[in-house]
Structure 1
């Protein structure tokens, strides 16, 4: 008979109790952690599928290229990048506005002798098919230009900080490169003319613009036009003051020039591209409309939420900051509707933060909250087109970075284009939700009819969760029988610090191009009917209700 060591039974019993205790503690802590992770707030929605509240232009989400790209003409070659053309084409239909501060410090300087030998010798022009390959940028040159552009962008930013702008010239070739880009990408060009070329009587001097117009007409370049950028800041930038009435006369003069052109007699003319209403120069827009409203096809103004030099992450997530768009839009719409009833109103230039954007914010995932909310709110308020500053260019609010790689707001824009149609429907978070109603922003449109994978009657709900808690959305009974295709966008990195990431995950997968000419498939995750919609903390998403059967869609 083998005897155990004295006390071994007691030790075994103690050990067993210890293990049991550890397991209980572990289970308790696991449950506690799970409770924290899964903490969520339920919200109820009300939606109206029987009535279209607004209808925006099919090119509602449009883009800009800042004229500073032309400050040194060689950088216009970047527009021949196959990668950039692929990215631009995916955002069509859209306008491309070429303008900004630098447009009012640029003059067209024809290189006639060169073009007599080349452009008129029977060669293909950029508006014809072969020119798309003719103006394509070779990879070696692209890499060199991207390196140089990174330095140029810093110089341009310093110029903007100083507020002193150098006069520059551009040739026919720069125009060819620009037109080739828009034509081969499928975009519609709006070219901004210099309004600071003025006579001693402070009237716009159109001679240089007519040189450019004549060249573009000879080349058969179809485009629309603007005149000047943010005229309310002319005094600060160039010590020239132009009142609203004179500005209207300048636009009427340009409209007459266009009407005398066979090609441009019915082309679009947009303006006055004023910055958002402030106490300073509040009289400019009324004066312009009183004298020149008949010259323009749409009234354009610019909007930014905050100053890029002192903006914070909290600004980008603050509902009160986001709501300021509605305040400023209301001011502009009241003026336009009272002085020029029925005139379309556009955001002719807009982004998160002025002054070139907020470093570490405007080109990160965090910027998507301002951008997606602006798209939803602008359409709801009745703005017809919203032009994002910028597709490519200086500053930090671009959609495509200096390496020509898409940033989070590009992917957001691409999903918007594919999933959201021009018809705006009414939706609201029900009041019982309390504080969560402010931190959850929701918008509803008919689904884009060009997306053949969705049947007639589908609607797209898109939502932003500004809170640090998951939101569970309970859909109303009228759409409870619909399957839902879900596209959740989150930062590529976890936690609040991850909001500064320059990459984005779609349903958990980081988005990136397959190669320079191929975008990835943007696939949703399907939920069966009756499932609640779970929107993670600090994220945004699109939900396509495939069998919503909305009669107006």
Structure 2
């Protein structure tokens, strides 16, 4: 490799800055006292230091080589005195799509070490098992003759790992199964499938060993001649779960507004509410499930008769549920574009739909908590090449921030693993960018929501979006706050913060694609503070450390970036 002429170490900063500013494109070899070459690890640390120092300035030139007064400035107003909402500690939760059980052997993937390591990092959270195919699944107990015996408690939690050969075979079969599921999805035809104790055992083992609270979705399309819910199959499942002392919560049906389209059966809101009341009565007769959670109706976002279904359901069945659940997606995955994922108007649509749901619940069943029971970027399985790439993080972080600010207690991300392109883990169970974003949110962000307003000074506009929480008290002392911000623009932005946060040390966590520019938005890899995020091994996540920066009244948000700024010494009264 041809190097630029060896450079004395005291000149390295100047040369590296030129490289970072893209004036030079050749590698540099720095030498110290006596001509000894500076190690690669030292140079890597130097580059990282330069990257993060540019995020917080007192008016110095930015790392993009432009004058500060040419960079848009946002003036942030932070209210540290009072809370807007206090959310469930399991606010960020995840789902496993019921399609995973379409071929029941695939459920054994939940015993792999990698997926358990990744799932544990998202605890505490709910784990919802459901989706379209839950309403085409029937419990078929084998009386102990299932495909494999239920693992012991010690084995279930990882003392015995899934053999590598079996794991590889399961992954290959699952990849083939996905093609069949996608074909059925496009044709709108769903075959009825059966599941045994194996599915339930694997879900319970996985959730309990990973610190997740299981929510199991029951089939609501088992109907009587009078179009009432036929509860006999669910009763059989509840009896089995109770015999094994499996603690879990329940749902009934997925998106009842689409029953007619998917199965030729129409169920109105009033009847659905009575079905839930029947399920609640069954649960009340169980010593184990009388106090368990029941959530629903998992209706699609309000539109036309969907609003009528939700209102009718709450009137007849609102007293049976512990939380009202609805689903939200921004765009159609078959037609979505890259621009949709960066469009503030598209992101703002969540607030409109949330407002409609909250108003309906307030009228029909005041005081009932409202959850996003299933949500992601694009419906129809996601947008291939977008929902599983870095750009999806803008929709995901904005949804987490906006949902919290509007008081939605829980947001269940579709999916941790399962069919579609909106998964957090790929087909080989490797984490995608939204997974890393979720883990950072889980570690840094507390359930207490604060208010932040932004005033644009020079064109920052709606492409910079910010949300404020108390910092997670498991990670930070009382009074610390965390600012979540995103820059949808190809230009860096400076944010001015007021006292007292400007007097606080800040820990900075900035996520960017591993590739620059618009092309990088489609990447399936992400960097944290300039370092590529990858698992160390199947049992170990990388060190997700922030970079401490000194007090200042300005933060710089790079182009196309997602960031968490933790003000460790803010002393927020609302966070004590």
Confirm or deny a common fold (TM above 0.5): yes
Contact residue 135 and residue 177 of structure 1 kept, 8 A: no
Q: Distance in 2 between the 1:118 and 1:314 partners?
A: 47
Aligned ranges 1:541-552 → 2 under 5 Å: 541-552=563-574
Equivalent position SS for 1:281: helix
Equivalent position SS for 2:96: strand
| Residue 446, structure 1, aligned to residue 470, structure 2 | yes
Cα deviation digits, residues 113-136 of structure 1 (max 9, x gap)? 527x997xxxx865x344323774
Equivalent position SS for 1:292: helix
Change (3 A) 1:434 1:54: farther
Structure showing greater Rg: 1
Matching residue of 1:159: 184
| Residue 91, structure 1, aligned to residue 122, structure 2 | yes
Q: 61, 68, 80: which one pairs with 2:92?
A: 61
| Residue 504, structure 1, aligned to residue 526, structure 2 | yes
Q: Distance in 1 between the 2:448 and 2:287 partners?
A: 35
Change (3 A) 1:135 1:280: farther
Q: 495, 506, 528: which one pairs with 1:473?
A: 495
Aligned ranges 1:96-495 → 2 under 5 Å: 96-112=127-143, 114=145, 128-133=153-158, 136-430=161-455, 432-433=456-457, 435-451=459-475, 454-495=476-517
Q: Distance in 2 between the 1:104 and 1:267 partners?
A: 21
Q: Distance in 2 between the 1:40 and 1:78 partners?
A: 49
Q: Distance in 1 between the 2:458 and 2:275 partners?
A: 51
Q: 65, 68, 79: which one pairs with 1:48?
A: 79
Q: Distance in 1 between the 2:262 and 2:276 partners?
A: 21
Contact residue 104 and residue 229 of structure 1 kept, 8 A: yes
Equivalent position SS for 1:480: helix
Number of aligned residue pairs:
517
Change (3 A) 1:314 1:385: same
Contact residue 274 and residue 285 of structure 1 kept, 8 A: yes
Contact residue 125 and residue 219 of structure 1 kept, 8 A: no
CA RMSD of aligned residues (A): 2.0
Q: Distance in 2 between the 1:83 and 1:507 partners?
A: 24
Q: Distance in 1 between the 2:165 and 2:383 partners?
A: 32
Matching residue of 1:513: 535
* 1:458 Cα deviation from its structure 2 partner: 0.4
Cα deviation digits, residues 14-50 of structure 1 (max 9, x gap)? xxxxxxxxxxxxx9x9999964598522211101100
Matching residue of 2:113: 82
Contact residue 135 and residue 219 of structure 2 kept, 8 A: yes
Q: Distance in 1 between the 2:531 and 2:142 partners?
A: 50
Cα deviation digits, residues 420-439 of structure 1 (max 9, x gap)? 00000010112x43642311
Q: Distance in 2 between the 1:322 and 1:61 partners?
A: 18
Contact residue 80 and residue 135 of structure 1 kept, 8 A: no
Equivalent position SS for 2:378: strand
Matching residue of 2:104: 73
Cα deviation digits, residues 47-78 of structure 1 (max 9, x gap)? 11000111111000000000000000000000
Contact residue 487 and residue 562 of structure 2 kept, 8 A: yes
Cα deviation digits, residues 196-241 of structure 1 (max 9, x gap)? 0000000000000011000000000000000000000000000000
* 1:529 Cα deviation from its structure 2 partner: 0.7
* Higher mean C-alpha deviation, range 276-285 or range 308-317: 276-285
Q: Distance in 1 between the 2:446 and 2:439 partners?
A: 13
Matching residue of 2:558: 536
Contact residue 254 and residue 299 of structure 2 kept, 8 A: yes
Equivalent position SS for 1:552: helix
Contact residue 498 and residue 553 of structure 2 kept, 8 A: no
Q: Distance in 2 between the 1:157 and 1:332 partners?
A: 30
Change (3 A) 1:118 1:306: closer
Structure 1: 5+ residue runs without aligned partners? 1-26
Change (3 A) 1:183 1:207: same
Change (3 A) 1:204 1:527: same
